[in-house]
Chain A
Amino acid sequence: MMYAGIDAGSRAIKVVLIGDDGLEIIAKGQVDQGVEQDALAGGLFEAVLARAGIPRSDVRRIVATGYGRNAVRLADTTITEITCHAVGVRHLMPAAMTVIDIGGQDSKLVRLDEKGKVRDFAMNDRCAAGTGRFLEVVAARLGLALGDLGPMAAQSQNPAAISSMCVVFAETEIIGLLAGGRAREDVVAGVQTAIAARIVAMAGRNVEPPIVFTGGVARISGMETALQMALGRPVVVSPEPQMTGALGAALLARRHAENM
């Protein structure tokens, strides 16, 4: 039998299928988020099944997670992304004690215990300054693709200080910096540092290593370095960071099925 996890995130919907042993991802897929979340999730799910040649009847249980989880009607149940990211990351990196997930519109810090269960968590979803949205704004302002930000930031020798606590004001600040002749590389690196600073503010004390970085923003190079600098500890990017929520959902689907 198969188990499916669907992560309906703010920027993308991700699907992961795992088998009975739960050891590896059998199939996966991703599509941009949109208004018709249920239809998008359903379409992606069917497409992933079709590509892998797996009949729908082989999928025993489906768990949806992510901010749009309640819109995914084909799911048997929903579980929050906090729990799912913790399970997904711990599956991939069994030593992880702290999970930092920066997504398109929120960011989370999840503390785990020695068994991998969630001990505590903090979440920022009221301010875009600690989220991928900040990077999108900067990319749009600079006319760059999101994927170009990392390489550009890597060229900076002197990241700009972005002092605004709000993305809207920060955008104005960035315009001022660019108008003042500041290099684009320094501005992008400054934004990465500012995002990392927000995560550290949310984390407070007691960020226990190993720290694993996940979520869509973890794919942008340079962000893990910014986090490392801000936290003063090593940060490791999770394998397939954008998929960990869906993977965790699939693993929980399997666990639930076993308990039924």
Chain B
Amino acid sequence: MSEAPRQITLREWDRRYERWQAAGVPQPAYGGPLGRHVADGDTRLLKLRFDNSPAALRLWNFLLTEEDRLRAARAGGKRLVGTMKDLGTVPVMAYSLDNLVAFYPDGAWWIPCVMEVNSGLLQIADSLGIDESFCPVRAMLGAFVTEAHFPIPDLLTCSVGATCDDFSAIAQRLNGLGHPILWWEIPHRRAPEEGEEAVLLPGGFSAPKSQIEFVKSELQRVRFALEDLAGRSLDDEMLARGIAQANEVRRLLAQLQHLAFTAAPCPMPALEMLIAEMLAIHFCSDRAETIAVLRELLEEVNRRVAAGTGYFPADAVRIFWVNPVADLRVMNLLEDCGGRICGTEYLFTHALDPIPVDVPPLETLAQMALADPMVGSAIDRATRIIAEICRFGAEAVIVSRIPGASHCALEGEIIAEMVREECGLPVLEIEVPPLTDAMAPALRTRLEALVETVRDRRSR
């Protein structure tokens, strides 16, 4: 089954799957042809190109069967926790209790893309007064109304405060629709003042000890709520075990990133890497399977690196990508235009950093929450991005804005200016709505022009 890496269409995947099935190649329980997801309405898949490895097929099937997994978990007696906005802290706590399953309702922001806006979720959000001036995460409202994309969770948590304004408005509207939310506050991360006890956070930021204590007290409230839901206590030992498992996910992702961003040829395309990175936030509703999926992906990448096989010509332009794209197809487009990803900042770098294990569990989780790039200043975020750009040797940067997302509008320009000034690299700012078909020629021109610019710079 080990073939040369190649990006293939969904139809090619389905033909290949038939051959595997006939040959008795084992598949996970959620395995199957990708085409069945199109039958469920995920028509965007027909326009994507996928990595041809069995590991990639497993990754996609894992991602696209999350709803089935959630319903099965509920049917099996588990309680569901919808963890909104914090991007990687509460799920670590929830998965420390073996009868809870956490998921990320915000993930519904990709449904308008994957279903090519046929889901009607955005129209429902419109009807609820949350129109296109808000981030596409508003699709989540429609998903709660239709109950067609995930079961209604037994507990909803949401971080609020120094998170994005439009998300808070969307979550407040959800609360108003009769879905009570356990709000927990995350303050704006600030530098310690003179005389204040400082704590060095993962990612290189620092915050006053008092802010850590505050977030810890907020997470303590979340812990109590999780204990109530689970009907059992969540002690530090259980949390420590949960943290160890989360760290295993992060360790695998760090290895994957390192190889995918630095190896030549590139061993894994941008689209699969984006999906893999997203698993860090909430484990796609199955932490153990997340680890298995990532291990297989890493094995494939290691195999390719060892064999010297991979993607893209040697002169592919090394791009650092900032912010996730609402339309997955754009990751394919970048590669069509001669670019390859060598570094990403998809707004959740704190969910990829190892969780320190030398401090008590709740304190370390409070540190992680405060290390969120979205709860500090744009300059903090840009500083970290610049460090990553240098680490991975990027030649250009793309800042991809999410329409309606307030932080993108505010932070994109600051990040772009700092990168230009400190790294001297060309920076392209683009906006990527859930469907880019109408603007694909214009997007292509920009991406091609960026690639041309870098290639011309090389010849200086």
A-side residues, CB < 8 A to B, are 67, 70, 79-83, 106, 115, 117-123, 125-126, 204-205
Q: In the bound complex, do residue A67 and residue B427 qualify as a contact, i.e. CB atoms below 8 Å apart?
A: no
Smallest CB gap from A66: residue in B? B445
Smallest CB gap from B445: residue in A? A80
21 CB contacts below 8 A, A to B, read A67-B442, A70-B441, A80-B448, A81-B445, A82-B452, A83-B456, A106-B442, A115-B460, A118-B426, A118-B452, A119-B426, A120-B427, A120-B453, A121-B426, A121-B428, A121-B453, A123-B442, A125-B442, A126-B431, A126-B439, A204-B417
Q: In the bound complex, do residue A83 and residue B457 qualify as a contact, i.e. CB atoms below 8 Å apart?
A: no
Task: Give residues of chain B (425-460) contacting chain A, Cβ–Cβ below 8 Å.
Answer: 426-429, 431, 439, 441-442, 445-446, 448-449, 452-453, 456-457, 460
Task: Give residues of chain B (159-218) contacting chain A, Cβ–Cβ below 8 Å.
Answer: none
Q: In the bound complex, do residue B452 and residue A120 qualify as a contact, i.e. CB atoms below 8 Å apart?
A: no
A25 to chain B, nearest CB (A): 23
Q: Given contacts A67-B445, A120-B426, are A125 and B453 in contact (CB under 8 A)? A: no
Q: In the bound complex, do residue B452 and residue A83 qualify as a contact, i.e. CB atoms below 8 Å apart?
A: yes
Q: How far is the CA of A147 from the CA of B427 in the complex (A)?
A: 36
Q: Given contacts A115-B460, A117-B460, are A123 and B445 in contact (CB under 8 A)? A: yes
Q: In the bound complex, do residue A120 and residue B445 qualify as a contact, i.e. CB atoms below 8 Å apart?
A: no
Q: In the bound complex, do residue A117 and residue B445 qualify as a contact, i.e. CB atoms below 8 Å apart?
A: no
Q: Given contacts A120-B427, A125-B442, are A83 and B460 in contact (CB under 8 A)? A: no
Q: Does B12 reach chain A (CB closer than 8 Å)?
A: no
Q: Given contacts A118-B452, A120-B426, are A67 and B460 in contact (CB under 8 A)? A: no
Q: In the bound complex, do residue B456 and residue A118 qualify as a contact, i.e. CB atoms below 8 Å apart?
A: yes
B457 to chain A, nearest CB (A): 6
Q: Given contacts A119-B426, A126-B431, A126-B439, are A82 and B457 in contact (CB under 8 A)? A: no
Smallest CB gap from B448: residue in A? A80
Q: How far is the CA of A250 from the CA of B385 in the complex (A)?
A: 39
Q: Does B413 reach chain A (CB closer than 8 Å)?
A: yes
Set of chain A residues within 8 Å of B460, measured between Cβ atoms:
115, 117
Set of chain A residues within 8 Å of B420, measured between Cβ atoms:
120
Set of chain B residues within 8 Å of A79, measured between Cβ atoms:
452
Set of chain A residues within 8 Å of B441, measured between Cβ atoms:
67, 70
Smallest CB gap from A68: residue in B? B441
Q: In the bound complex, do residue A83 and residue B449 qualify as a contact, i.e. CB atoms below 8 Å apart?
A: yes
Q: Given contacts A125-B439, A126-B439, are A82 and B413 in contact (CB under 8 A)? A: no
Known: A80-B449, A118-B453; 19 extra A-B contacts, CB below 8 A, are: A67-B441, A67-B442, A67-B445, A70-B441, A80-B445, A82-B449, A117-B456, A117-B460, A118-B449, A119-B453, A120-B427, A120-B453, A121-B453, A123-B442, A123-B445, A123-B446, A123-B449, A126-B442, A205-B417
Q: How far is the CA of A160 from the CA of B139 in the complex (A)?
A: 41
B-side residues, CB < 8 A to A, are 413, 417, 420, 426-429, 431, 439, 441-442, 445-446, 448-449, 452-453, 456-457, 460
Q: What's the A-B contact tally at a CB cutoff of 8 Å?
A: 54
Q: Given contacts A118-B452, A120-B426, A121-B453, are A82 and B445 in contact (CB under 8 A)? A: yes
Q: In the bound complex, do residue A204 and residue B445 qualify as a contact, i.e. CB atoms below 8 Å apart?
A: no
Smallest CB gap from A205: residue in B? B417
A163 to chain B, nearest CB (A): 19
A50 to chain B, nearest CB (A): 31
Set of chain B residues within 8 Å of A81, measured between Cβ atoms:
445, 449
Chain A CB within 10 Å, residue with most, of B413, B429, B452, B457: B452
Set of chain B residues within 8 Å of A118, measured between Cβ atoms:
426, 449, 452-453, 456
Q: Given contacts A67-B445, A117-B460, A125-B439, are A80 and B452 in contact (CB under 8 A)? A: yes
Q: How far is the CA of A201 from the CA of B26 in the complex (A)?
A: 57
Smallest CB gap from A82: residue in B? B449
Smallest CB gap from A252: residue in B? B452
B220 to chain A, nearest CB (A): 45
Smallest CB gap from B413: residue in A? A204
Set of chain A residues within 8 Å of B448, measured between Cβ atoms:
80
Smallest CB gap from B428: residue in A? A121
Q: Given contacts A83-B456, A126-B439, A126-B442, are A121 and B431 in contact (CB under 8 A)? A: no
Smallest CB gap from B337: residue in A? A80
Q: How far is the CA of A106 from the CA of B431 in the complex (A)?
A: 15
Smallest CB gap from A121: residue in B? B449
Q: How far is the CA of A82 from the CA of B426 in the complex (A)?
A: 13
Q: In the bound complex, do residue A117 and residue B457 qualify as a contact, i.e. CB atoms below 8 Å apart?
A: yes
B404 to chain A, nearest CB (A): 14
B295 to chain A, nearest CB (A): 41
Q: How far is the CA of A80 from the CA of B442 in the complex (A)?
A: 10
Q: How far is the CA of A58 from the CA of B456 in the complex (A)?
A: 28
Q: How far is the CA of A123 from the CA of B449 in the complex (A)?
A: 10
Set of chain A residues within 8 Å of B445, measured between Cβ atoms:
67, 80-82, 123, 125
Smallest CB gap from A120: residue in B? B426
Q: How far is the CA of A122 from the CA of B431 in the complex (A)?
A: 12
B113 to chain A, nearest CB (A): 18
Set of chain B residues within 8 Å of A121, measured between Cβ atoms:
426, 428, 449, 453
Q: How far is the CA of A122 from the CA of B449 in the complex (A)?
A: 10
Set of chain A residues within 8 Å of B452, measured between Cβ atoms:
79-80, 82-83, 118
Set of chain A residues within 8 Å of B426, measured between Cβ atoms:
118-121
Set of chain B residues within 8 Å of A126, measured between Cβ atoms:
431, 439, 442
Set of chain A residues within 8 Å of B427, measured between Cβ atoms:
120
Q: How far is the CA of A83 from the CA of B428 in the complex (A)?
A: 14
B412 to chain A, nearest CB (A): 12
Set of chain B residues within 8 Å of A82, measured between Cβ atoms:
445, 449, 452-453
A101 to chain B, nearest CB (A): 12
B337 to chain A, nearest CB (A): 10
Smallest CB gap from A78: residue in B? B448
Set of chain A residues within 8 Å of B428, measured between Cβ atoms:
121
A158 to chain B, nearest CB (A): 33
Chain A CB within 10 Å, residue with most, of B420, B427, B449, B460: B449
Set of chain A residues within 8 Å of B413, measured between Cβ atoms:
204
Q: In the bound complex, do residue B453 and residue A83 qualify as a contact, i.e. CB atoms below 8 Å apart?
A: yes
Q: How far is the CA of A79 from the CA of B456 in the complex (A)?
A: 12
Set of chain A residues within 8 Å of B453, measured between Cβ atoms:
82-83, 117-121
Set of chain A residues within 8 Å of B456, measured between Cβ atoms:
83, 117-118
Q: How far is the CA of A89 from the CA of B269 in the complex (A)?
A: 37
Set of chain B residues within 8 Å of A117, measured between Cβ atoms:
453, 456-457, 460
A182 to chain B, nearest CB (A): 31
Q: How far is the CA of A42 from the CA of B190 in the complex (A)?
A: 62
Smallest CB gap from B420: residue in A? A120
Set of chain A residues within 8 Å of B439, measured between Cβ atoms:
125-126
